[in-house]
Amino acid sequence: MRLSFLPLSCLLSTLACTSPFGVVPPVESSTTSPSTPPEAPTRKAMEAMRAHKPFLGRWTGTLEYRDFTSEDRVWLPTRLEVIPSRDGTSMRFVYLYEDGPMKTVREESTVSIDSTERTMTVVSGRDGSRSVYRFSDDANLLALRQKGEGVFSLSGQGVEDGQEVAVRLKLTVNRERYQLLRETQLPGEAFKFRHEYTFTRAG
């Protein structure tokens, strides 16, 4: 099974040497006085924190995806935890898939929303590959930051089963629900269903 979050292309079974927010950096000496106050977040950082807030927390639901070989639809019980970075400018998405009896598959990615550039960037937790999706011109990102809700269309490029594809996303989020539909298109073909996550808030 090959999955992707926005595009979620890497399934992880083990993690090594990581803190709750990523790889622990080496300790370096510093001449900064302990009493030096931390720098205030920039406006761009504050906007990112507000845009990310609706996603943070624990979610439970399902992943439905189209099997590449049979074209059948498959459903997996799925749990998701979304954790903010230390500076709040990105989020770590940690997925747990119940893929059969006594088998749980873990997957991670780092996601950031840039309201100024109107983009969502996803970095794979396994190989570091980076995908950028652009919000549609009519996307109300102000409502996302202020009300914590909205329905958004995004587009970008990706790789599916070794082939380059156009990607179309529909993202729905509010205080109790998070849903992500991904459709892909091979050159000369129509868009096809790839997968859909449907979650309700668990905490």
Residue-level pLDDT at 137: 96
pLDDT digits (tens, 9 = 90+) for 67-107: 988 989 999 999 999 999 999 999 999 999 998 888 899 99
Q: How far apart are alpha carbons 198 and 77 in whole angstroms?
A: 10
User: What percent of the chain has a predicted confidence (pLDDT) above 90?
Assistant: 69
What are the sequence ranges of the domains in the chain?
Answer: 41-201
Residue-level pLDDT at 69: 87
Model's pTM, two decimal places?
Answer: 0.79
Residue-level pLDDT at 100: 81
Is the alpha carbon torsion for 103, 64, 91, 56 positive or negative?
A: negative
> What's the average model confidence in pLDDT over 5-31?
38
Indicate the pLDDT class of residue 40, thresholds 50, 70 and 90: confident
Residue-level pLDDT at 197: 98
pLDDT digits (tens, 9 = 90+) for 103-138: 899 999 999 999 999 999 999 998 899 999 999 999
- Which residue did the predictor score with more confidence, 19 or 51? 51
User: Is the pLDDT at 200 greater than 90, yes or no?
Assistant: yes
Residue-level pLDDT at 154: 98
User: Is the pLDDT at 34 greater than 50, yes or no?
Assistant: yes
Residue-level pLDDT at 47: 95
Report how far Cα 141 is from the mean position of its chain's Cα atoms.
17
Phi and psi torsions of 149, nearest 5°: -155, 165
Residue-level pLDDT at 8: 42
* H-type alpha helices, 15-72: 43-52
Residue-level pLDDT at 113: 98
Spell 158-169 as b/e; 16+ CB within 10 A means b.
bebeeeebbbbb
Architecture of domain 41-201: Beta Barrel (2.40)
